[in-house]
Amino acid sequence: MLELKNLCYTVPDGRGILNDLTLDIPDKRFVVITGPNGGGKTSLARTIMGINKPTGGQIIWNGTDITEMSVSDRAKLGISYGFQQPPRFKGMRVRDLLSIAAGTDLSHEMACSYLTQVGLCARDYIDRDVDASLSGGEVKRIEIATILARRSELMIFDEPEAGIDLWSFARLTETFQDIHDRKEATIIIISHQERIIRLADEIILLANGNVTDRGDAAEIYPKLMGMTVSGCNMLEVNRKC
């Protein structure tokens, strides 16, 4: 279980990005965190991963307080993070990146299987460099393949739909559904995309650095649509329009 207790993150100019946020996410759940731009979604994801250092509160993963742990130590505990814009590694082949993620020298067959799971033809990609010759959608799917290779227990994805084509996006949603169906990991996705939101076991609304509502898709999605239709800004989610 992931537990966030009174979590705060304040930037140097004094602005509070996360404000006394308390949240728990049970194991093997598929959770989508959504809400207005500037509400703290990416900051929350980066703080869970350890990229941002919280200025208050606790982060507890499977009973272990990881608040002061480094990114590397959190990764060793089974936490992985997918960036909006994944890094590229000139001179590194896809198969080598997958082996590094897995922590072992993967066989050709196993490396190919991870690429196949994210909708890439292994034959075309296994020996390619992870460089600028790849499209945004290709790099995104390769990054997800590395997370699968790592067999992470907690997978965090920050707007995985960003910068990819419609076909790649459709394949990504299938991949997320497949991961969830196998019940191998807890999945947290930061997204505004309807197709991803509708896959979730639970939707969490985040605004002004705190949770303003949460529930299953059947309960929360109509509220999101109501806000859009009525012209309300989601920043107003705690106030009547």
Comparing 166-175, 189-198, 221-230, the range with the smallest average pLDDT is: 221-230
Q: Please return the burial class of 78, using the count of CB atoms within 10 Å of its CB with bins 0-12, 13-18 and 19+.
A: middle
Question: Beta strands 2-10 and 16-25: pairing type?
Answer: antiparallel
> Per-residue pLDDT tens for 88-101?
998 999 999 999 99
- Percent of the chain at pLDDT above 70? 94
Strands laid side by side in the 64-65 sheet:
16-25, 2-10, 56-61, 64-65
- Residue 191 DSSP class: -
Distance (Å, whole) CA 109 – CA 107: 5
pLDDT at 110 > cutoff 90 = yes
226 CB-near residues (< 8 Å, 6+ apart): 232
- Using left for φ > 0, alpha for ψ between -120 and 50, and beta otherwise, residue 66 falls in alpha
CA angle 81, 56, 233 (to 5 degrees): 70
* Average pLDDT of span 31-46: 94
Distance (Å, whole) CA 64 – CA 61: 5
Distance (Å, whole) CA 132 – CA 130: 7
Does the reported pTM lie above 0.85?
yes
Could you give the angle at which helices 108-117 and 94-102 cross, rounded to 10 degrees? 90
DSSP symbols for 97-157: HHHHHHTS---HHHHHHHHHHTT--HHHHTTSEESTTS-HHHHHHHHHHHHHHHT-SEEEE
Structural contact between residues 191 and 32, judged by C-beta atoms closer than 8 angstroms: yes
> Per-residue pLDDT tens for 124-146?
999 999 999 998 888 988 999 99
Phi, psi angles (nearest 5°) of residue 16? -85, 115
> Per-residue pLDDT tens for 147-161?
999 999 999 999 988
